[in-house]
Structure 1
Amino acid sequence: MAGGIIPDNISTSSIPTGKKTIFPLTLITLLFFLWGFAYGLLDVLNKHFQNVLDLSKLESTGLQVAYFGAYIVFPPMVGTPIIRRFGYKVSIMLGLGLYIIGAVGFWPCAQFETFGGFVACTFVIACGLSNLEVAANTYVVILGSPKTASLRLNFSQSFNGLGSFVGPLIASNFFFSSGNKDNLDSVKYIYLGIACGVFLVAIGFFFAKLPEITDDMVSEESNIPTKPLLKQPHFLGGVLAQWLYVASQVTVATFFINLANENGVKSDSKASQLLSYALLLFTAGRFFATFLMKYVQARHIVGVYSTVCCILCALTVILHGIGGLISVMTLFFFESCLYPTIFTLALQDLGGNTKRGGAFVVMGVGGGAIFPPIEGVIADRASTRIGQIVPTIGFAYVILYAFLLAKAQKPK
């Protein structure tokens, strides 16, 4: 059976399908690359700031708190009202605008070496990215045949992984090079380049004609009555699963370089390259999961993948040296499909509440603000390896969600 989610509750007569979806999906997929790139840089910046600004592991997680904390605040207060009132295009333009403003702000922050300024600019960037996620994730789920919603989202999210791979690869060559490892000059130019690139993308979206999809169109011919979100256990469990999954994924990535150092990789540049290779495995895993969606139910894929993640994360606590490195890098492969697949599982059968529900699931990204400081405390007092117990707990809940709360796919 195919692994597509959200069957039956979306009208395919009023929503574009087939060839009509190619151009808008291509543009939207570009957004996934942009925020993957931003996220990929974040984890390397964490270690670079530890070195240049003399921060502890706990202090450096201020970047993660700001980045992922924005996902808690911005979607419900700004993102959801804008997308419901003005539509997807306006929401996307706002997100790109905030991305540009935050990226430009990195220049003066690097000039004066103010970590508080970096935290503030990271928050602005993340507000923009959270708005893009509310719009893009939900748009990809709705736009096209409902039977292939999960497959579509996994494919688009694969380019998020590609951006995450490119980010650390660039950072390892610039942040930790002999001329830049003790200063923030490379940070200024990289983020100025990002601002210019995003500006060009914003121009493209401004002139592009995207088909708009309203709440009425989503629920117009629904075969399932739209029920309140609080009365749908698969949705509530999905929001919590997203919180804990993202918290675990972010924590593993945030302390990857520190963990690599503890496992014998003394060069930060080499460790950053290994992070880039791990994110390449992440990207490959997402493309492979997209293929599996044609044959295996999505909730079963989430259950198996999260089980393997839990085991591998526990092994990073126990194993040292090459065994620990192999475990944490392989973990990235199995993390790959969890975010987009949990997203579609949580939105199954929400009908007219799909946009609103999507905003709450995107808020789950805010979980990335919770676990890193906890592991930071443990890492400062004990070791990063011991701190890996924290994300192991998060993966364990995702197993329970997949097998006990997520809805089974309906037969075709």
Structure 2
Amino acid sequence: MTNKPAFTEKKYVVIFIFVTSLFLMWGLLHSMSDVLNRHFQTVLNVSKSQSGLIQLSVFGAYFIMSIPAGMFLKRYGYKSGVVLGLTLFAIGTFLFVPAANVASFGFFRIALFILGCGMATLETVAHPFAAALGDQRTSDRRLNFSQSFNAVGAIIGPAIGSYFLLRATGGNSTDLSSVKSLYIAIGCIIVFIAIAFLLVKIPALTDPHTEVDPEAVNIDTAPGKKLYQHKHFIWAVTAQFFNVAAQGGTWAFFINYGHDVMGFDNQTAGSYMSIFMAMMAAGRFAGTYLMRFIAPNKLLAIFAFGNILMCVIVAQGWGWTSYIALMMINFFFSIMFPTIFSLGLKNLGKHTQQASSFISMGVVGGAFFPLIMGKIADHNVAQAYYLPIICYAVIFMFGYKLYKVKH
């Protein structure tokens, strides 16, 4: 190849901007659910372990919706897939109004589940959509660019949630009007994006993953094997499960840690979550740079080991020392999802697309782990951070040894 492929083409620029905005939206809503976790403890008088059901609702939706969304995408195409995701997204946000009117935690969980189904659909569609908007040789760059806005959304979400929810309720208020106002506004923005998306003309696309690239390195070196016989893929699914489990638990009780251990009020604890999410963005940029010199699997193992140390320090409750270590967990976490993903897809050839769906379903780990951490956090939120060490030990072993492709 003598010509360098372009990042994208002019005819795709507008639609690429729209697709990238989707990454930002679900990053924002994902991180805002962690502010809701603390908010509902205050206004609905639920325990820390019960509030972990928020993550069960959202991540459980991912597990249930990923395969149907993939089937819908295959049959009806990218545009219809995005519209379906945005529709479910909007319905979920608007359901926060009747849920707030009856002050029902169960109703809120239904709304969060439908919202989660919308996010799952958008994730299933947006990743291959962004990859298809140009030359396949630059699809990784496009995805990384779009995912950087997911991190931006994760920074903005806690700031918005803390300002409108935690500031509004103060210490002991049971008022839910701020929840209604915030989610009505978000729902209206989503409807606007959906309408605008319907008006955008999408050029004919060819999914780069369906083409045979003579320069491709993802060639199945053991074509006689079925997908489940590729051990590195099985370990990638396992590592991804524990990775998202650790993420869900760490994020869910971040504000509780600031409140219980550091003595912050709810708004201050929530405002620090934006810094927490900024650490993830910093880690992503640093990790991308370091991969020029360090093999991805080795860097994954190094970052996993770093988080084992950070969790030990966090669990001690040593004031600012432990709080900074808690911030660093997100820095080291940053590269884990995409790195596990890419290592799990190595040399799978025709199995690649199917494998991608299964690795994506590993997010169900985030549905259960906050519940387990919440049981300990009800008694001591600092000591609850011993539990993610199990997750990072599995990720360390995957990066150290279990990632290897066996013929």
- CA distance in structure 2 between the partners assigned to 1:245 and 1:254 by the alignment: 14
CA distance 1:91–1:219, change in 2 (3 Å): farther
Compute the displacement of 1:215 (Å).
8.3
Aligned counterpart for 1:247 among listed residues 245, 248, 254? 245
Compute the displacement of 1:155 (Å).
3.1
Compute the displacement of 1:110 (Å).
1.1
> Paired residue for 1:263?
261
Compute the displacement of 1:73 (Å).
1.0
Aligned counterpart for 1:205 among listed residues 197, 217, 226? 197
Q: Give the alignment of 1:8-87 within 5 angstroms.
A: 18-20=7-9, 22-76=13-67, 78-87=68-77
> Paired residue for 1:173?
163
Q: TM-score, normalised by structure 1?
A: 0.88
Deviates more, 1:268-277 or 1:346-355: 346-355
> Paired residue for 2:321?
323
The answer as to 2:296 corresponding to 1:298 is yes
Number of corresponding residues: 392
Compute the displacement of 1:353 (Å).
3.3
> Paired residue for 1:387?
384
Compute the displacement of 1:142 (Å).
6.1
CA distance 1:216–1:255, change in 2 (3 Å): closer
Q: Say which structure, 1 or 2, has more relative contact order (CA 8 Å, 6+ apart).
A: 1
Letter in 1 for 2:398: Y
Give the SS at the match of 1:194. Answer: helix
Letter in 1 for 2:241: W
- CA distance in structure 2 between the partners assigned to 1:233 and 1:208 by the alignment: 42
- CA distance in structure 2 between the partners assigned to 1:218 and 1:283 by the alignment: 32
- CA distance in structure 1 between the partners assigned to 2:81 and 2:212 by the alignment: 21
The answer as to 2:153 corresponding to 1:156 is no
- CA distance in structure 2 between the partners assigned to 1:310 and 1:54 by the alignment: 33
Aligned counterpart for 2:111 among listed residues 121, 131, 144? 121
Assess if the C-alpha contact under 8 Å between 2:7 and 2:141 holds in 1: no
- CA distance in structure 2 between the partners assigned to 1:29 and 1:235 by the alignment: 28
Give the SS at the match of 2:359. Answer: helix
Assess if the C-alpha contact under 8 Å between 2:314 and 2:385 holds in 1: yes
Q: TM-score, normalised by structure 2?
A: 0.89
> Paired residue for 1:5?
none
Compute the displacement of 1:228 (Å).
3.0
Letter in 2 for 1:212: L
Letter in 1 for 2:193: V
Deviates more, 1:261-270 or 1:57-66: 261-270
The answer as to 2:333 corresponding to 1:341 is no
- CA distance in structure 2 between the partners assigned to 1:300 and 1:142 by the alignment: 30
CA distance 1:17–1:131, change in 2 (3 Å): farther
> Paired residue for 2:273?
275
- CA distance in structure 1 between the partners assigned to 2:308 and 2:15 by the alignment: 36
1:387-407 C-alpha deviation (Å, 9 max, x unpaired): 112112111111111121325
Compute the displacement of 1:28 (Å).
2.4
Assess if the C-alpha contact under 8 Å between 1:234 and 1:406 holds in 2: yes
Assess if the C-alpha contact under 8 Å between 2:131 and 2:208 holds in 1: no
The answer as to 2:224 corresponding to 1:232 is no
> Paired residue for 2:371?
373
- CA distance in structure 2 between the partners assigned to 1:216 and 1:109 by the alignment: 42
Letter in 2 for 1:351: G
- CA distance in structure 2 between the partners assigned to 1:52 and 1:375 by the alignment: 21
- CA distance in structure 2 between the partners assigned to 1:205 and 1:346 by the alignment: 33
Task: Please give the root-mean-square deviation of Cα atoms over the aligned residues, in Å.
Answer: 2.4
CA distance 1:132–1:355, change in 2 (3 Å): farther
- CA distance in structure 1 between the partners assigned to 2:289 and 2:108 by the alignment: 39
Compute the displacement of 1:22 (Å).
4.9
The answer as to 2:79 corresponding to 1:89 is yes
Give the SS at the match of 1:388. Answer: helix
- CA distance in structure 1 between the partners assigned to 2:201 and 2:363 by the alignment: 28
Assess if the C-alpha contact under 8 Å between 1:285 and 1:334 holds in 2: yes
> Paired residue for 2:307?
309
Assess if the C-alpha contact under 8 Å between 1:248 and 1:371 holds in 2: yes
Compute the displacement of 1:62 (Å).
1.3
1:177-232 C-alpha deviation (Å, 9 max, x unpaired): 25565311111111111111112222233224155345882457667246532122
Q: Unpaired segments of 5 or more residues in structure 2?
A: none
CA distance 1:367–1:401, change in 2 (3 Å): same
- CA distance in structure 2 between the partners assigned to 1:362 and 1:209 by the alignment: 26
- CA distance in structure 1 between the partners assigned to 2:150 and 2:39 by the alignment: 23
1:76-117 C-alpha deviation (Å, 9 max, x unpaired): 2x1121122223332222111110110111111112211111
CA distance 1:391–1:141, change in 2 (3 Å): farther
Assess if the C-alpha contact under 8 Å between 1:24 and 1:211 holds in 2: no
Assess if the C-alpha contact under 8 Å between 1:229 and 1:357 holds in 2: yes
Deviates more, 1:97-106 or 1:294-303: 294-303
- CA distance in structure 2 between the partners assigned to 1:306 and 1:152 by the alignment: 26
Aligned counterpart for 2:357 among listed residues 353, 356, 359? 359
Assess if the C-alpha contact under 8 Å between 1:98 and 1:125 holds in 2: yes
CA distance 1:48–1:388, change in 2 (3 Å): same
The answer as to 2:206 corresponding to 1:217 is no
> Paired residue for 1:193?
185
CA distance 1:352–1:202, change in 2 (3 Å): farther
- CA distance in structure 2 between the partners assigned to 1:228 and 1:103 by the alignment: 41
